[in-house]
Structure 1
Amino acid sequence: MEKTRGARELELAPVGRLLWKFSLPAIAGMLVNALYNVVDRIFVGRGVGPLAIAATTVAFPLMMVLMALTMLVGMGATALISIRLGERKKEEAEVVAGNALTLLVLVALSASAVGLAFLRPLLSSFGALENVLPYALEYTRIILLGNVLMSVGFGLSSMIRGEGQPFLAMVINIVGALSNIILDYVTVFSLGMGIKGAALATVVSQGISAAWAMYYYVSGRSVVRLSVRNLVLRRSACLKIFSVGFPHLALQLVHSLQQVIFNRGLSHYGGDLAIAAVGVVFSLGTFMFMPVMGISQAAQPIIGFNYGARRMDRVKEALKLASFWATVIIGVGYTVTRIWPEELVALFGRQDPQLISLAVEAMRILFFVLPLIGFQIVGSGYFQATGKPLQGTLLTLSRQVLLLIPLLLVLPRFWGLHGVWWSLPVSDLGSTLLTAAFLYYDFRSEAANSRNIPALSKEGS
């Protein structure tokens, strides 16, 4: 059987060219998703102050939960749509799409209702102290009211990628992010709406993305059509969507728990200003991590295909190149944070010297081993690409959960706020060493298996 053009390319094209071909759209998509929260923090920091930054930081775990529920449906449906189209079962793909749209709306409305009913105790448990709580309530209430727009926009964009239109999905997300920047300026500064304006800008911009994605489906241009009859939920379709999307839900929920523990440690040992400072640092870190995540995701189909074809030379080359470029990108970002730390922090609050001083101190500790993280992220992605989900999940969770949460519970008891900060680089170092050990053992096992295959074949003949 003649191989498809895509398969031939994965097997024969230069690995470096393949990596960048796959990486650029993935990096763009990752950066766009990062823009929403980062832009909000910049505008509220400059327009309102550090308490508003702390409010968005405290609200972030709740937003991660909302995103987790959206990913449960959106990512599950996306994978199923791709599989059904590959099997030439278009009608089944359309059933999945219709059921997914209904689920996106129902899950988002349910989550918003629960969030609004228990908003004050939730934010307090996330680390919101007395001064921050009013800002957090204003910001999060609007986010929850507009949650259905975020859910539909993200879910439909993912489904557009699933039917083979990654560029269109990327454009839809970029338009939403650019709209957020413009609307943030208008609502926060021109209209003087403060943190409410930032939340409203986020909701409206997500509504723009949702409207465009919906138009794509109702205009008749999509491969998978949405019909009224497929909006009626079917038990089998819902269960399949939930089962495929569950790993994304679990990972996001665990990350949300980690962020809650981190925020509570900050509020206990450092107060509102510490939460705001770390919110600034994490926002800056997002722009370094997202391109690395894009490279890791882009490398996975290259590694997976050639691993299946037993082309271990190309597997190793893809892993080395992805690790190299991930390290270069994050290394450049690390260098910038070392040379111009005050200037970077000042983007979020030029008039607050206390915030700048504390955020710079936090950044020097939190980013202490940052150049190692590119290798860790790509290395954990290797195991997912080669069909070893247990190792991949363990390594993915090791950095932000399995090592970090125990450290967050122990180190601050001895070193206070600095113990909270040092928990992250110690976790980063441990997870990097663990990834290196896993890779070393895996490549030794693969080499041993490849030596045994000819011998076994000979005996069988």
Structure 2
Amino acid sequence: MSSPLKSEPIHRLLLKYCIPAIISMMTVSLYNTVDRIFIGHIPEIGNIALTSLGTVLPFITLILASELLITYGVIANLSLKLGEKKEAEAQNFLNQVPVLGLLISLLLIFIFTTFKAPLLTLFGATKTTLPLATQYLDIMILGIPFYIIGFSLMASIRSEGNPKRAALILIASCLINVILDPIFIFTFDLGIAGAAIATVISYLFVFAYVFYYYTRGASNLKLKPSLFKPRRTYIIPILIFGLSTSLVQIMTALVQILFNRSLAHYGTPLSIGAFTTITTITNLALMPAIGINQGCVPIIGYNYGQRRFDRVKSTFILGTLASTVIFMVGYILIQLIPEHLVRFFNSDEMLLTQTVSGLKYYLFTLPLCALATTAPNLFQAIGQSRISIGLVVLRQLILLVPLIIFLPTFFGLTGVWIAQPITDLIISLLAFYLVKREFKHY
């Protein structure tokens, strides 16, 4: 029987795979967004709490990097193996998720627990913000294994051909977080610690459900304890395929640290809080495009394995156009109603002024930058990890880091805000050239 990935019209496949993935990524973004909205409105200390959360962001980003390392590595390999009709190998890849997730989780827990205070200080925490940042981080550390393993297995459900179920799991988890946040933060008066507790409980839900689904549920592939042992044959391809996406987040963590330190130097103590809100709004604009990327990966990977290059091209072009439209909508909203967007997170006038100004600068090239997000995933999906990783390194280290360091010496705080959009524009131009060169081979 012919797989729909091979024969179904591309636009229908994109709707089938990308819409659930977009919903999933928006739901992931809402985990953080809801926390920050409630945290920013904690009576009397909302602005300080939001700034404290900003110093924890690099930790959260590193946890996300670890999850995406496994997620993208697994979904790429699953798609290729299922496309090649090698279901036994696909199942072996799936069963490496809990093993690899646990090993990485234990490593992160050790590092975060052992070096917590000096790292928070390095990331911009002060005597005022350190206690609140510590409260939040201590609880989030407990949820690391549930998040990494649970969300990686949830993404595998999409690659197995059931994207709607994966989206429903995330929606339910997000609702749990939204309901519990105000209860723990305000009703139980736990403040910023209550936000972390609500988030970890929602992670537990995802973890429990996906394990049930892959052991006793209606999944085609199964988790089997007999296969729960590290195997280089499968771990290495997972790490290779997932490395470029994970590197994006690792470098993002490094960039967040640089941003925090530059903002503290060239701005005010509340500038880190402004950056926290800006990155949250940015993620809301970017997550639909990331969802499109995730939805395109199994389509591109399967058809590349089948040597159907015309369908690879069509999937990528349509996905990039859809991302551009989404970025345009986000850009228009940010330019027209920035104050309304920022007030969701905090109403402090000093913080509001800084955030609105920074937001407009930070995203002023957004409509032109779809290729900066879609091209690395194309090369990752077709197995050209070197190009994908090269784009990531160029974007986050070779270009962005020097710009963050040098632009503020000429433009002050504005120089901090414009470093990212300039970088994204350069990468988009380079990505256009590389994609065009790749398609010539087809």
Q: What is the TM-score with the length of structure 1 in the denominator?
A: 0.85
- CA separation of 1:163 and 1:316: change in aligned 2, threshold 3 A: closer
2:359 aligned residue: 363
Candidates 117, 138, 143, aligned match of 2:140:
143
CA separation in 2, counterparts of 1:316 and 1:220?
Answer: 35
Question: Are the aligned partners of 1:403 and 1:431 in contact in 2 as well (CA < 8 Å)?
Answer: no
Q: Classify the secondary structure of the residue corresponding to 2:124.
A: coil
Residue by residue over 1:220-256, the C-alpha shift from the partner in whole angstroms, topping out at 9 and shown as x without a partner, is 5332333333334445554554444444433332222
**1:378 and 2:374 aligned:** yes
If asked which structure has higher relative contact order (CA below 8 Å, sep 6+), I would say: 2
**1:154 and 2:151 aligned:** yes
Any unmatched runs of 5+ in structure 2? none
Residue 336 of structure 2 aligns with an amino acid whose one-letter code is I
Residue 409 of structure 1 aligns with an amino acid whose one-letter code is I
**1:205 and 2:202 aligned:** yes
Q: Classify the secondary structure of the residue corresponding to 1:403.
A: helix
My pick for the range that moved more, 314-323 or 129-138, is: 314-323
Residue 31 of structure 1 aligns with an amino acid whose one-letter code is M
- 1:166 positional shift: 2.2
1:425 aligned residue: 421
CA separation in 2, counterparts of 1:97 and 1:442?
Answer: 30
Name segments (4+ residues, structure 1) moved above 6 Å: none
CA-based RMSD of the aligned residues comes to 2.8
Residue 29 of structure 2 aligns with an amino acid whose one-letter code is A
**1:8 and 2:4 aligned:** no
Q: What is the TM-score with the length of structure 2 in the denominator?
A: 0.89
- CA separation of 1:251 and 1:374: change in aligned 2, threshold 3 A: closer
Question: Are the aligned partners of 2:31 and 2:199 in contact in 1 as well (CA < 8 Å)?
Answer: yes
Any unmatched runs of 5+ in structure 1? 451-461
Between the two proteins, the alignment pairs up a number of residues equal to 438
Residue 249 of structure 2 aligns with an amino acid whose one-letter code is Q
Residue 320 of structure 2 aligns with an amino acid whose one-letter code is S
**1:177 and 2:174 aligned:** yes
- 1:429 positional shift: 2.4
Question: Are the aligned partners of 1:40 and 1:184 in contact in 2 as well (CA < 8 Å)?
Answer: yes
Question: Are the aligned partners of 2:76 and 2:298 in contact in 1 as well (CA < 8 Å)?
Answer: no
**1:395 and 2:391 aligned:** yes
CA separation in 1, counterparts of 2:260 and 2:284?
Answer: 21
1:69 aligned residue: 66
- CA separation of 1:44 and 1:359: change in aligned 2, threshold 3 A: same
% same residue: 35
1:349 aligned residue: 346
Residue by residue over 1:177-222, the C-alpha shift from the partner in whole angstroms, topping out at 9 and shown as x without a partner, is 1111111111112222110001111101111111111221332533
- 1:4 positional shift: 3.6
Question: Are the aligned partners of 2:40 and 2:49 in contact in 1 as well (CA < 8 Å)?
Answer: yes
- 1:427 positional shift: 1.4
Residue by residue over 1:382-424, the C-alpha shift from the partner in whole angstroms, topping out at 9 and shown as x without a partner, is 4445554444433344444332111011112222222111212
CA separation in 2, counterparts of 1:320 and 1:73?
Answer: 26
Candidates 13, 29, 32, aligned match of 2:27:
32
- CA separation of 1:72 and 1:189: change in aligned 2, threshold 3 A: same
2:40 aligned residue: 45
- 1:81 positional shift: 4.6
CA separation in 2, counterparts of 1:220 and 1:433?
Answer: 46
**1:262 and 2:259 aligned:** yes
CA separation in 1, counterparts of 2:367 and 2:17?
Answer: 23
Residue by residue over 1:8-43, the C-alpha shift from the partner in whole angstroms, topping out at 9 and shown as x without a partner, is 22xxx2x44443333211211111111111111111
- CA separation of 1:224 and 1:411: change in aligned 2, threshold 3 A: same
**1:334 and 2:331 aligned:** yes
My pick for the range that moved more, 81-90 or 224-233, is: 81-90
- 1:261 positional shift: 1.4
CA separation in 2, counterparts of 1:44 and 1:196?
Answer: 10
Q: How does 1:58-457 map to 2 (within 5 A)?
A: 58-83=55-80, 92-234=89-231, 236-299=233-296, 305=303, 308-311=307-310, 318-350=315-347, 352-385=348-381, 388-442=384-438, 446=440
CA separation in 1, counterparts of 2:95 and 2:11?
Answer: 39
Bigger CA radius of gyration: 1
